Structure 1
Amino acid sequence: MAVPRKKMQKHFSTSSSTGSDENRRVYCQSCDRDGPRLPAQGYCVDCKENLCATCSTHHKRHTLSRHHNLLDEKSASETLSSASLHPRQPDKLKTRCPKHMKEMIKFYCQNHLALLCSVCVTLEHTGTSCKVNYIPDISGQILYNKEHQDILKAMDTITEQCHKKSTDVKKITAKSNNSLTDVSADIKKFRKEINQRLDELEKQANDAAKTIKQENDKTLKIVETTCNDVTKSLKASSDKIKHLITTKQADQFFIELKLAEQMIQDHEKRVHKSAAYGVKVYKFKPNKAIATVLDKEKSLGTFTEKSLKQSSPLPAVDIKHRQTSHQGKICVKTYNSRYTWSCWITGMTLLTPDLLIITDRNNYTVKMVDTRSQSVTHQLQLDIWPWDITSVSNTELAVLHPDDQIIQFISVSSNKLKKKKMLGISGQCFGISCCQGKLVVSSIDPVKLQILDTNGTTLKTVKGENLFSRPLYVTTNTNYIYVSDCDMRTITRLNWQGKVTGSYDGLDYPCGITLSDDGAVFACDYGRNVIEKIAGDCSTGKVVLKDLKHPYAVCWCAETSKLYIGCKTDQAKQDNFLQVFKLS
């Protein structure tokens, strides 16, 4: 039932309209915390607390609160709202203050969002800017608002994020551990290759020592035989002369004496000639480069990270002017017993910034070029002429033989090239490129593009009657395939589904092409004697090198910003060299 207003004023009643007098009476909040419950007879506006007579007296005397606005019982009854009253016995507070371990947390500062004990309030939160509440005064409100729901929801969200992060890290860790297993296998393989190479060098040195020993033994045998023959001949002549002296056969003695003089001259020449054999004493002088390599090098190799994210399509690039400088030329002419033609470099691929592999169509060879020493360090003789070449991995290459319609796989190990398996293909194919385990080959008869795996399985065929006329070279990245067509005079871009997504027709006779690190294409224009850089979307192009001698094949090194160019002029002084340019 309704409570008369006078009674509410007299006892500072709460907003509740039912219940006993005990529940409707207002008590001193300070005493409620630590002592017996006493009726409130005053109210502090600054502290927002009901106070008994004793607490009101102390409140007025205390240094920190003596200037507070205190209301008597009557004034407080007219001012207080039901939300400021505290009609219940507070819970027993049990949480200790982390700063003052003997004190319990009882207060909350709304300005600093801090839980406080009595000492904290006294020492750190006494200013007028701090709005400090006694926790039992405000704790009842939180049971009926959404704050705790938001906090619990945030806790659930973070928990879910932790579970997801843990799952993701677990998956990535598994991938990382699997990759490290592969790394260990690669390390063992690399070590084996080093050992094999050292074994080869050791055998080579021992063979050289054996050859010298055999020559020494042969020399010794010749000298011994000569000396024995001379000794026997001279002894026989000497014995005969002595016998003729004893028997006093003057005529025969004269003849034998003169023969002995002639024999002495001949034998002196033979002995002198045998003495001319140069037998030397040797000592081993280690190769300093090999002897110190382990001291200089800090590791067998480095670990490089593989991206776990799928590559996004390359954006179109603006063709910007780049300064060019001629870095010289590399002689790639080698001599063998089968072919001595001038070079015709028709294909190039980089395994490392220091290791360039080229195909020499005229001399039926694949050659390994050290770009640092600028020399051919090894070559592989082929039975049929090659055309284009691509790297399948760091240790494997694929070479096209158009006439025989095959792909020859070649391994690279211990700085040597070695034939591996062959794959048969359909059509007279000239261009080849490998990306992520897929081979793309361009055929001019019939006109088409083929996408194969490294086992020779055809994954897709793009019929080219309406797209190409003579697709001579191809190059690829994870998003696109680029084709140079020397008859249609175009560079065409296709996606891996075989759909044309761009074309550039500003060329005269396009041949070899290579991809730049910014997504653009460097193209040899054999007819105009230039290298043109074409935007990745085939929208624009710009000449970056001119006044060349019929450039035919090209390769770009992103690490060194160098272009390697092979020309076809039918002149040895041009064709036997790779031209090297730096773009910056």
Structure 2
Amino acid sequence: MASELTISCGSCRFKNITNNAKKWCTICKEGFCGECEQSHKFKNISINHKMISIEDYSQVQDITINLNCEIHGKKLDLYCKQHDIAVCVVCIPYEHKMCSSSDVISIEEASKNAKQSTALSDLERTISRTLDNVKHCINDQEIALKDVEKDERTIKKTISDTRMNLKNYLDELERKLLLNLKSTHLSCKTKNIEILHQLKQKEKELKKLREQTLQMKCFASDLQVFLGTYQLNKTIIDNFRFLKEEIRDCTNNRMELDLHHVISSLIKEVRQFGEIKVIETKASLQLKDAKIDQAQIQINKSMQNVRNISLQLKQKFDIKGSKEPITGCVIFSDDRIIITDGDGSGKLMEYNNSGKHIRNIPVYDKPYYLTAVDTDRIAVTYPSSKYLEIINTKNDNERKKVLCSNICRGISYQDQKLYVIIYQKGIVVMDLDGETLNTIHIDVLSVLNITTTSDRIYYTNRSNNAVHCCSMAGQEIWVFSDRSTSFPSGISVDNNQNVFVVGQYSNYLTLIQHDGKDSKVLLTDQDDIHHPKALFYSKEKNIICLGYKAGSVALYQAS
């Protein structure tokens, strides 16, 4: 049992004294008795070391976390933000000599608040999703096994009924066919059982990883959590790849009886009772995307202070026929930019990322706010009308009008749902058919724009010059107000729930930290910003599209 773990005091052992340790130092990896613990705590070199009880240590002792560089064997005491990797001092002059000094920080600084990081949450979600995948595979194989059993029973009945009609003449043929069935059934069953065994073994391993992650989250140090997250993620990636390899060519076998078509009339000519066939159908093992691409994990990004984030101008271009700031924009994965010019030309337009005008998309009113629904579709609101439209940007004939109870303003899409600011109603949550699922009752008189993540809603409030963050149920999490957000307009959010917002009167582009406790002004009127309205952050490309002044758009690379 973990509670029965006995560890000797390391300091006493050097004095040839045997004392049981009461505490464990997560940095020194050594136990200390009560007296030695006090001495250890007051030494300058170890004053900041974290001590945990032996009982707590017993919970994490089986979690293997490598604290040393795999290449050089030195302690991992540095972290490169540019390459998103923990390194030792020897790594720097070789693999990271081109990295700036600001990119390389201490591992202690990098691992702060590791237990609250989105990386750890991503790891937990990845384990859960992969476990769900395994359970899905197991369920599919169990169904296939039942089908094979059912097929066997059906074929036996068919064989038996036919045999009664053919009587003694078919006895020998029946015997041969049943032997064939038994052999084929055994082969199919053995295959199913083998796959089930492999999947259940993976299920056990994943459950163990999930338990280790929970224990690590509760009892390990920030450093252990930080490095353990990397290493356990690698294990999960290997497991997920194993699953994909295992099921890539996996088939579920069914059996059927191919009865001779002339057996009833040409008894004397038939030399076999029938033939057992195995019908191979592709196993329905469509794994859910576990989203464990290492490039998307960005373990330390969410713990970065927003003051480390900067922008680099990529492109500026003018909007055809526009003399007012654009009101909305989105960037698709194929680099198409869709723009609403509600205050200017009143058009919905498509541009490429070089600033070339591609075409105008037909609309029957002045479009104002928009959001991407998928790789081709957008949802657009019209501030003078009580409806919104879902439009296929590659097929003008494919569009759907969704009636609303009042005038629509800001709009955002998340998880098959639209979040719409509707005058005198609040934030209305609806499906893509326009059916209202929920209404978050807030005063939206001064609320114009909105954006969402999987678990949060963000909106701008011009009455108090603030950005509000709330849960999906409408419970307020934080409010940010500053002179930089004077008359807030366009709003967007990055992969780490940091919020970009433009102040239409302050002429600022501001980045608010995910907890609402810090911010950084990224652009000002010195950067030619003038009454900005539209703002969009591409989470896929880390690019900001900004309507920075009347009739003009700028693209910035965020890093």
TM-score of the two chains, using structure 2 as the length reference: 0.46
Higher Cα radius of gyration: 1
- TM-score, structure 1 normalization: 0.44
